[in-house]
Amino acid sequence: MSYDLPDELRVDSDGPIRIVTINRPDELGAVNKSLHWALANVWRQIAADREAAVVILTGAGRAFSAGGDLDWITSFLDDPVARDDSIREGAEIIDEMLRFPLPVIAAVNGPAVGLGCSMAVLCDIVLISERAHLADPHVAVGLVAGDGGAAFWPLLTPILRSREYLYTGDRIAAATAVELGLATRTVTPDELLTEATELARRLAAQPRAALQSTKRIVNMHLSQALGGPLQAGFAAEVVTMQSDEHRERLLAVAGRAARR
């Protein structure tokens, strides 16, 4: 089956396994407008692929995804239409991942930040490189962590532990992510994709109806618990996107990045 996707998101086939790669290695997998659209639309396309049984989600190069592309995000400061479109599409990404019927294995090869972190922890199994880390830095740039951390993490981790990382935006090392419940297990960098593929083959060999129905039932707990927090989170994020403090902090981050 062919996929109608931009170059920023690649889908490769290995028998019944579909390897979805965030394909902006020079930008550390930062999510621009095109990639954001692709991440919202890839799941329906794979679900329609009758030969697909399992998905591996990973990043090209040194990062899984470094979060939002600064040029794209900065454009929202003066373009409320694009800002609101991105929020709606962000909600679609989360909804599509929760409803996606096939098991998804995250092979977190490097930093998974912001939306990248949210997508990783939404996967069914999270294998994380010993050199990788997770982070949700929304608050540090004046935003509510509405598209993931504030809604998801309390379902997966002890609230007292997750609050500190959400409030500060500090990096969560791979071993700590496993301890907190945000990742399944650590893997050496050289073995990450091999182990993800071996696990994917095991899942692909399982009875399909039983596996998919088990995932659907497990995700019912997430969907029911997330209904209120997600809606509140996205609404609060839009409000903070319009704040002077967010503008100042985002422009400062963009300025530091430009000087590197």
Q: Is residue 241 part of a domain?
A: no
- Supply the pLDDT for residue 225: 72
- Supply the pLDDT for residue 145: 85
Q: Is residue 215 part of a domain?
A: no
Q: Is residue 198 part of a domain?
A: no
With a pLDDT cut of 90, the percent of the chain lying above it is 79
Q: Is residue 86 part of a domain?
A: yes
Q: Is residue 228 part of a domain?
A: no
Q: Is residue 237 part of a domain?
A: no
Q: Is residue 223 part of a domain?
A: no
Structural domain span for residue 140: 9-190
With CA atoms as reference, report the closest residue to 29 among 91, 117, 141.
117
Phi, psi for 137 (deg, rounded to 5): -95, 20
pLDDT over 80 (residue 258): no
What CA dihedral angle connects 150, 156, 158 and 161, to 10 degrees?
A: -60
CATH number at residue 62: 3.90.226.10
pLDDT over 80 (residue 30): yes
225 vs 255, higher pLDDT:
255
The domain tally of the chain equals 1
Rounded CA-CA distance 210/51 in Å is 17
- What digits encode the pLDDT tens for the residues 84-93? 999 999 999 9
Q: Is residue 106 part of a domain?
A: yes
